[in-house]
């Protein structure tokens, strides 16, 4: 009887990496609710008309071609521990010897009123297309009123996601929209709200300061030490009780482990799966959790950040661990190697921090471009993205301004 | 008092051409319900994962830049003839001296039962994304059943649209899907139904025969002289009363003038606006109709075909006519110059017919590629489409297989 059936839930950075690694010595089935992987780090460029939506998606079956890994479209419903199987909403029951949970993350609203109903998340192609449509529709709405009506756009959350989004919206307004209708574009305001004392809290304070200045130069109003109490369709109530106008609110203030884990009835801690240092889910040595959904701790005892590099490293790691189990070898604790962080603010502007090495400006921007292209799945997406970027760069235009959200 | 306010309803081939021509000597406002123009001739490639959806769309404001033409997002609700104005659903009222109706066409079901509810049209980016999602979902569904379950896909209508669609689906199945899951792809069947005695009835019979053979070589089952009586979610009842399985039906059997014309309360004949030879709407000399929505007749007394070249020529023509009215010059009847027709069947395969000159095969295919690229709006779309096509050509792959239809 073979002991090498592995089922992987989620085809994101972690799940897909694990699948490819395990394919050599295991019978692997990869499950995802989409038939494509979404390249989340570039989603904000779809939201702001810089990239074609199809370029940040890649068919999972294309990525698995020749590997022998099977793909199953669906979401997990429940785990049957007795028979070691997982039931998929498509009706399929997948038996496993090892189960890897790599379901990723969802927008966290921290219970703040109105966030779920009135703000846009940044976790899927669908949301990106919806944000793009909403920004462009607000622009068209303003075009109808040759008066002083304004449109207030707010991004909440001063981490890399929020910073990149705010910068890209500012460039969209200052660039193509201003060329379309100068008097209208000047009535669209973009604001970035952060609860902490500085932007990019995980970076060196000097880069935080530089980022703030760069964003302000682009026309972004940056509010620090500003909490959000409630979001409505056209306003935000701040921690101070003050209510400010916000015709469109984008929520980049937090993520949590995918809510899909609750259906699986596994131990959850702080909205992520409770795991041993080996990445095995607590009490379930044949179930592993990697990526955003995994509550693995770093060397400092704090939960690891929900970023792609962690998922990629854990995907490789878990494959080695499962191989060790098959060979009755000893398991080892996962150690995250932080290779640094980066964020782009706009044309020629980015910040990169690798250990004590920090750069900002055009070179950081080129590093950012190169690394994102490198990790983008598929030659076609790379070529298409290079074409889009080159076009945007040379023409200062954004050609994907289409309102295509009501299917 | 100026007499040069022109409002144009519809930013398709006809409307946009007229707007650009008139911009030089008139105060032009262009109205469309989308903020982008859709390049309909390549929609079927989006449906079959060959092109990114955003590449067949182009922002109208981008196309109008520098021309001085104003753009208004919305649909016309009614015409006020007394005040010479048109009311838009956005609430705006646009006054005009001349109104050009260029609202295009919609799928015609000829009253056949079930077509509206159970078949896919081919008239919008939304429908193209929906067809792509449905084909890919049927493929994933089949993947769950390692048995003899089949999936029957039907395209109804043997004109250029139906022929190109059937050929592209056949190539999708034979190419990427077969590489993903050979045993599954072989259970997906594609069928083309035409009521007449031959495919491409507007072409020379020799090209019709060639097209049929080419499609059959690709694996398309071609049914001629076959009428459709009813469509359901999983079957088609033929004229003979026979019921055949069809898990997905795509309707390319006919188009009619946009139903939006009925709201305008203008004279309609055979589902298109009744016009004088000058393209003026009958009884309304200050209203003009061009493109698919216009019931203009050809030299042979038959209604002109609903194709892009007619709309482009009429767009230019109507601009000249309106200029003539402004200058109190005489009007002239529109004469359509038929520059020929073409259709592509698949890799290296196409038919082109220009008057008595006919070609088929690789050269026709290159002519087809070149002309479609030439008329595609925007350098970014041209570059992106070349990239996609080159990629598809070299890899035999289709990288846009994403199911993104539930927003």
Question: CB–CB of B139/B253 below 8 Å?
Answer: no
Q: Per-residue pLDDT tens for B27-81?
A: 999 999 999 999 999 999 999 999 999 999 999 999 999 999 999 999 999 999 9
Residue-level pLDDT at B138: 96
Query: What is the per-residue pLDDT across A224-278, written as a single tens digit (0 to 9) for each?
Result: 999 999 999 999 999 999 999 999 999 999 999 999 999 999 999 999 999 999 9
When CB atoms are compared, the residue of B126, B388, B402 closest to A404 is B126
Same domain, residue pair A166 and A267: no
Query: Does residue B406 fall inside a structural domain?
Result: no
Residues B101, B202, single domain; the answer is: no
Asked if residue A360 belongs to a domain, the reply is yes
* Inside any domain, residue A241: yes
Do B229 and B246 fall into the same domain?
Answer: yes
If asked whether residues B273 and B321 sit together in one domain, one would say: yes
Q: What kind and span of H or E run contains A128? A: helix A125-143
Residue B374 has what pLDDT?
87
**What residues of chain A lie within 8 A of the CB of B405, using their CB?**
407
A1 — pLDDT class (breaks 50, 70, 90)? very low
User: Which long-range contacts (C-beta less than 8 Å, at least 24 apart) are formed by A118-122?
Assistant: A118/A231, A118/A232, A118/A233, A118/A249, A119/A156, A119/A231, A119/A249, A119/A250, A119/A251, A120/A248, A120/A249, A120/A250, A120/A251, A121/A251, A122/A43, A122/A44, A122/A47, A122/A161, A122/A165, A122/A250, A122/A251, A122/A252
Of the candidates B282, B301, B326, which is a domain's last residue?
Answer: B326
| Number of domains composing chain B | 2
Please indicate, yes or no, if residue B69 is contained in any of the structural domains. no
Mean pLDDT of B340-358: 91
* A130: closest chain B residue by CA: B407
Min Cα separation A141/chain B (Å): 8
| B151-156 vs B188-193, strand pairing mode | parallel
B59, B130, B404 member nearest A402 (Cβ): B59
Q: Among A35, A39, A42, A54, which would you mutate to test the B interface (most chain B Cβ atoms within 10 Å of its Cβ)? A: A54
Residue B294 lies in a domain: yes
Nearest CA in chain B to A126: B407
Q: Evaluate if residue B235 carries a pLDDT over 50.
A: yes
Q: Is the pLDDT of residue B1 over 50?
A: no
When computed from its CA atoms, the radius of gyration of chain B, rounded to whole angstroms, is 22
Measured between beta carbons, which residues in chain B are less than 8 angstroms from residue A72?
143-144
Q: Which of B164, B171, B194, B353 is catalytic?
A: B164
The whole-angstrom separation of Cα B301 and Cα B316 is: 22
| List of chain A residues whose C-beta atoms are within 8 Å of the C-beta of residue B136 | 35
Nearest CA in chain B to A62: B180
Using one digit for the tens of pLDDT, what is the confidence trace for B130-155? Answer: 999 999 999 999 999 878 899 999 99
- Domain assignment of residue A288, given as a range: 5-33+74-107+256-326
Please tell me which residue of chain B has the smallest CA distance to A175.
B62
Q: How far is B396 from chain A (nearest CA, A)?
A: 12
Helices A379-395 and B379-395: crossing angle in degrees, nearest 10, is 160
Whether residue B138 is found in the same domain as residue B209: yes
Say how far residue A260 (Cα) sits from the centre of its chain: 17
Residue A273, classed as helix, strand or coil, is strand
> What is the pLDDT averaged over residues B214-232?
97
Token pair 């006020």 is at which residue?
A: B80
B40 domain residue, yes or no: no
Min CA distance, B126 vs chain A (Å)? 5
pLDDT attached to residue B2: 61
Question: CA of B324 to nearest chain A CA: how many angstroms apart?
Answer: 30
DSSP 8-class letter at A304: P
B164 is catalytic: yes
Name the residue among A42, A342, A340 with its Cα closest to residue A168. Answer: A42
Do A265 and A370 have their domain in common? Answer: no
Q: What is the pLDDT of residues A219-229, one digit of tens each?
A: 999 999 999 99
Cross-chain CB nearest to B53 (options A54, A384, A387): A54
| Distance between CA atoms of residues B327 and A335, nearest Å | 81
Query: What pLDDT, on the 0 to 100 scale, is given for residue B160?
Result: 95
The H or E element spanning position A130 is helix A125-143
Q: What is the DSSP string of A36-100?
A: EEE-GGGHHHHHTTSS-GGGGEEEHHHHHTTT--EEEES-EEEEETTTTEEEETTS-EEE-SEEE
Contacts of A54 in chain B (CB under 8 A): 52-54, 399-400, 402
Supply the CATH number for residue B348's domain.
3.50.50.100
| A129/B402 CB distance under 8 A | no
Cβ contact A143–B72 (<8 Å): yes
Rounded mean pLDDT, A315-341: 95
Q: Judge if B91 and B203 occupy the same domain.
A: no
Same domain, A244 and A368: yes
Residue pLDDT, tens place only, B353-399: 998 899 999 999 999 998 998 888 888 888 888 888 888 888 888 88
Task: Check whether residue A154 and residue A232 sit in a common domain.
Answer: yes
Instruction: Please report whether residue B39 resides in a domain.
Output: no
Residue B57 to residue A404, Cβ atoms within 8 A: yes
Q: Is the pLDDT of residue B407 over 60?
A: no
Query: Looking at the structure, do residues A214 and A287 belong to the same domain, yes or no?
Result: no
**Is residue B237 located within the same domain as residue B270?**
no
Inter-residue contact B44 to B168 (CB < 8 Å) = yes
At residue B204, φ and ψ (nearest 5 deg) are: -65, 140
Please identify, among A293, A326, A359, the residue that sits at the C-terminal boundary of a domain.
A326
Decide if B287 is inside a domain.
yes
Among A298, A326, A354, residue at a domain's last position:
A326
Considering the candidates A21, A127, A152, A164, report the single residue annotated as catalytic: A164
Same domain, yes or no: B290 and B390: no
Measure in Å the smallest separation between the Cα of B73 and chain A Cα atoms. Answer: 7
For position B383, what pLDDT does the model report? 83
By C-alpha distance, which of A73, A264, A248 is closest to A156?
A: A248
Contact A7, A264 (CB under 8 A): no
Nearest to A152 by CA among A247, A259, A10: A247
Give the residues across from B349 on adjacent strands: B346
Taking Cα atoms as reference points, which of A211, A187, A184 lies closest to residue A198? A211
Chain A nearest-CA residue for B36? A402
Task: Say if residue A10's pLDDT is above 60.
Answer: yes
Closest-approach residue (CA) in chain A for B33:
A403
CATH number reported for the structural domain that contains residue B282 in this entry? 3.50.50.60
Give the H or E element holding residue B130. Answer: helix B125-143
Strands A248-251 and A151-156: parallel
> pTM here?
0.94
Beta carbons of B380 and A391 less than 8 Å apart = yes
**From CA B30, how far away is CA A208, in angstroms rounded?**
45
d(CA A278, CA A192) in angstroms, rounded, equals: 38
A3 neighbors A326 (Cβ within 8 angstroms): yes
Q: Is the pLDDT of residue B221 over 60?
A: yes
Tokens 């033409």, located at residue = B69
Taking an 8 Å cut-off on Cβ atoms, the answer to whether B126 and A35 are in contact is no
How many C-beta neighbours within 10 Å does residue B387 have? Answer: 20
CB nearest to A35's CB, from B57, B140, B391: B140
Contact B403 A34 (CB under 8 A): yes
């Amino acid at each position: 009887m073979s002991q090498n059936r592995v089922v992987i839930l989620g085809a994101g950075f972690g799940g897909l990496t694990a699948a490819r690694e395990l394919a050599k010595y295991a019978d692997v089935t990869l499950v995802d609710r989409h038939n494509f992987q979404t390249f989340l780090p570039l989603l904000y460029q779809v939201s702001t008309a810089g990239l074609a939506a199809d370029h940040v998606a890649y068919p999972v079956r294309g990525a698995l071609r020749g590997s022998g890994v099977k793909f199953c479209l669906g979401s997990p419903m429940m785990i049957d521990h007795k028979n070691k199987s997982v039931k998929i909403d498509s009706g399929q029951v997948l038996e496993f010897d090892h189960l890897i949970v790599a379901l990723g993350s969802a927008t966290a609203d921290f219970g703040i009123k109105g966030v779920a109903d009135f703000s846009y998340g940044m976790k899927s192609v669908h949301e990106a297309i919806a944000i793009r449509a909403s920004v462009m529709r607000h622009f068209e709405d303003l075009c109808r009123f040759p008066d002083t009506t304004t449109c207030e756009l707010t991004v909440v959350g001063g981490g890399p996601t929020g910073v990149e989004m705010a910068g890209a919206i500012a460039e969209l307004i200052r660039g193509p929209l201003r060329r379309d209708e100068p008097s209208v574009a000047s009535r669209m305001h973009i604001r970035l709200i952060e609860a902490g004392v500085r932007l990019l809290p995980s970076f060196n304070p000097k880069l935080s300061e530089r980022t703030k200045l760069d964003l302000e130069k682009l026309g972004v109003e940056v509010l620090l030490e500003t909490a959000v109490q409630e979001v409505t369709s056209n306003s935000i109530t701040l921690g101070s009780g003050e209510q400010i106008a916000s015709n469109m609110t984008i929520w980049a203030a937090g993520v949590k482990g995918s809510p899909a884990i609750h259906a699986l009835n596994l131990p959850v801690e702080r909205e992520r799966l409770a795991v041993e240092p080996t990445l095995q889910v607590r009490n379930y040595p044949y179930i592993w959790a990697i990526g955003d959904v995994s509550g693995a701790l770093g060397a400092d005892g704090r939960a690891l950040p929900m970023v792609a590099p962690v998922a990629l490293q854990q995907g490789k790691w878990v494959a080695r661990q499962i191989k060790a189990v098959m060979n009755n070898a000893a398991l080892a604790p996962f150690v995250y190697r932080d290779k640094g962080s980066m964020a782009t603010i706009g044309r020629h502007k980015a910040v990169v921090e690798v250990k004590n090495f920090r750069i900002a400006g055009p070179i950081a921007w080129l590093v950012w471009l190169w690394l994102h292209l490198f990790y983008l799945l598929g030659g076609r997406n790379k070529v298409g993205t290079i074409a889009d970027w080159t076009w945007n760069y040379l023409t200062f235009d954004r050609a994907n301004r289409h309102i295509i959200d009501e299917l």
